[in-house]
Amino acid sequence: MDMLPNSTEARDIRYQMPAAADMRKHEETGSVVIERGEGIYVYDNTGKRYIEGLAGLWSVAVGFGEPRLAKAAFDQMSKLPYYHQFNYKTHGPSVDLAEKLLSLIPFPMSKVHFTSSGSEANDLVAKMVWYRSNAMGRPEKKKIIGRIKGYHGVTIAAGSITGIERNHTSFDLPLDRMIHTSCPSYELFGKEGESEADFTARMLADLEALIEREGADTIAAMWGEPVMGAGGVLPPPAGYWAGVQAILRKHDILLVADEVICGFGRTGKMFACETYDIVPDVLVLSKQLSSSYLPLSAIVINDAFYQPIADESHRIGSFGHGFTASGHPVATAVGLENVKIIEERDLVGNAARLAQMFQAGIKDLATHPLADHARGVGLIGAVELKGWDKPGQAGTAVADRMQAEGLIIRGIGDAICFCPPLIITEAQVTEMFAIARAAMDAVAAERG
């Protein structure tokens, strides 16, 4: 692309290493510079407006430019801009948010610990799982089950629990104590003539077989997103989570529910665990917790998980972990205000009310000649495209064309994924899918 030598675009290429990108391609093309946001829209530095159809990165629940969050950050910054939580110190905003979260969760939980990202949170939970096994005199019980196409972050432990090849290749991941079971997507992996019930039974049999092969006494925990997000928006088949929980209970294996994407209303309930009747030992939250206005995540644990860890910290004299920014006062103040907005404006209810319309829009796109099928729940969904010569080629082409037409979504392989801010209106849902359909028409016309 043509750019002035001292433009933001040129300096971005010159000075920054991008995330989740082909760096050589970035050197040639640069990046779109997003300059401001308002509601469900963002604007680049040429003034072009886009519908942010992925809520940033599955995360901006209350939309862009929310003045209450800016004020919450300013007020807390003015009062106490930073303090740590080491050596028996704390501050009001983190306590307030921890109390609020425990009041919202519809099953018994005991404690909250704050970190700055979903990756950090999942990484820490892995350490806590191992610490707990040692505390209980079970040093052999350390393996962690993830799922193919599951996503739990990109740090070394979280990236190992993740089951996505691009997050492993050339990083020497996964670690050898991380094992993976089948991806429970009936739409992608159901066999010809296999009913959904039979597919669920096969997924559960795969999990049982993995546990038997590895030995239940060597497996500490299983991680799972109620709805897989970055793997391509993959809802579970009927009966899956009930079956998984029964298997884990039988084998004394902990369940960690990763609600980094699903939490705070995405499925039409405050937590997706409610949608699928999941009662985990650990709940991991981020993204919509602060609408990503500031980096924030939360680990919420039940008492059975907490007590052995507390005992071990007493025996040793300390729990040897902490981040400089754990429970940051400005981030937790913004998180608390964000949760208040979600409640006061009934954004969970908005997601539930618009879910039928949104999912109908996804299904309508799936009737397009480029499409294969649709999937989703609440205000998250994907359309799987028919493959072209190379995997991912169709998804990239359609996502790029949608961006050119003023709609930012995410292409994951050959799936185009939608996850708009929870504040979206009926009229804006209609506008979003009209742009998406027009873009798909344009790509189809170009291909002849």
pLDDT of residue 448: 77
Quick check: 2 pLDDT over 80? Answer: no
C-alpha closest to that of 296 among 46, 76, 103, 18:
76
Residues 320-334 have pLDDT tens digits of 999 999 999 999 999
Domains, the chain, with CATH or none: 32-62+346-447 (3.90.1150.10), 70-344 (3.40.640.10)
Return d(Cα 220, Cα 356) in angstroms, integer.
39
CB 94 within 8 A of CB 293: no
Put the strands of the sheet holding 49-52 in their side by side order: 34-38, 41-44, 49-52, 407-408
- pLDDT tens-digit map of 62-109: 999 999 999 999 999 999 999 999 999 999 999 999 999 999 999 999
> Strand runs (DSSP E) across 269-370, as ranges?
282-285, 297-301
Is a pLDDT exceeding 70 seen at residue 389?
Answer: yes
Tens of pLDDT along 229-283?
A: 999 999 999 999 999 999 999 999 999 999 999 999 999 999 999 999 999 999 9
For residues 444 and 401, is the Cβ–Cβ distance under 8 A? no
pTM of the model: 0.96
Positions of E strands within 378-421 = 380-385, 407-408, 410-412, 415-418
Pairing of strands 143-147, 49-52: unpaired
Taking the C-alpha atoms of residue 251 and residue 222, their distance in angstroms, rounded to an integer, is 11
Structure tokens at 264: 């705070």
- Predicted confidence (pLDDT) per residue in 134-175, tens digit: 999 999 999 999 999 999 999 999 999 999 999 999 999 999
Q: What is the mean pLDDT of residues 280-299?
A: 98
Q: In this structure, what token pair is assigned to residue 19?
A: 């995330």
* 190 pLDDT higher than 70: yes
- pLDDT value, residue 4: 86
Q: What pLDDT was estimated at residue 1?
A: 58
Amino acid 391: pLDDT: 93
Say if residues 93 and 350 touch (Cβ distance below 8 Å): no
d(CA 158, CA 143): 13
Query: What integer is the mean pLDDT of 171-195?
Result: 97
Write the burial class of residue 324 (CB in 10 Å: 0-12 exposed, 13-18 middle, 19+ buried).
Answer: exposed
Report how far residue 316's alpha carbon sits from residue 303's, in angstroms, rounded to the nearest whole number: 20
Position 382 scores a pLDDT of: 98
**Sign of the CA dihedral running 242, 247, 250, 256:** negative
